[in-house]
Amino acid sequence: MNGPEIAVRLRPFLPQDRDACAAIYAAARRQAFHWCRPDLFVPGDFDRDSAGEVITVAEEGGRVRGFVSIWMPDHFVHLLFVDPAHHGRGIGRRLLRLVEDTFGDWAWLKCQAQNETALAFYRACGWTAGGGGVNELGPWVAVSWSMSRSTASPDPAPGRKSP
Ligand SMILES: CC(C)(COP(=O)(O)OP(=O)(O)OC[C@H]1O[C@@H](n2cnc3c(N)ncnc32)[C@H](O)[C@@H]1OP(=O)(O)O)[C@@H](O)C(=O)NCCC(=O)NCCS
């Protein structure tokens, strides 16, 4: 990214971040999952979908700009969402780099096949698409990162958090 340096810092999620993360989670899905009814996505989903996960927030000037929520046992990036008003500022890339640093060897996630913006983002960050399936929102693509095998595909066998 060639934009100006941004004063965003990454830090562990705190209880007081909940409402901001929940609002971002709803707003970003309404925009990204454009083929779905917007009322499918509500802030209350955040607690359910992030339960038991390790969450890191990107904060700027005391405001949450985005977050990543990781299901550690499967090296699985469950949720990666940036406030739509702050897309394109390098925040998503920083959160994804944190995932790489956290695991050091490999990690993976699911991306809806129709979410072309996110797929372009993952490609730009050096992650690789391969394999997939279908869930309640439509077809999804497995997207993975591997330190040793840049073209590796994950085993999409479902873990507890990755149905
Ligand atoms: C996908 C998402 C996380 C990206 O975060 P972001 O902060 O906007 O992305 P960044 O600014 O860090 O971009 C990093 C790279 O991805 C590229 N990229 C980002 N959005 C892109 C787009 N729409 N098309 C093409 N490339 C894109 C950028 O060009 C950048 O590459 P560069 O550094 O070579 O210029 C964010 O747009 C988002 O929250 N989307 C909605 C939720 C979502 O779809 N989450 C993923 C679910 S699987």
Report yes or no on 55 lying in a domain. Answer: yes
Q: What is the mean pLDDT of residues 84-101?
A: 97
Number of domains in the chain: 1
Interval 19-78: pLDDT, tens: 999 999 999 999 999 999 999 999 999 999 999 999 999 999 999 999 999 999 999 999
Instruction: Give the domain range for residue 20.
Output: 9-146
Interval 96-109: pLDDT, tens: 999 999 999 999 99
Report yes or no on 152 lying in a domain. Answer: no
Report yes or no on 52 lying in a domain. Answer: yes
The number of the ligand 1 atom at minimal distance from the alpha carbon of 111 is: 48
* Ligand 1 mean position, distance from CA 88 (Å): 6
CATH number at 123 reads 3.40.630.30
Q: How many CA atoms lie within 13 A of 151 on its CB side?
A: 0
* Ligand 1 mean position, distance from CA 160 (Å): 27
* Ligand 1 mean position, distance from CA 162 (Å): 22
Report yes or no on 74 lying in a domain. Answer: yes
Give the residue, by CA position, lying nearest to ligand 1 atom 16: 121
Report yes or no on 50 lying in a domain. Answer: yes
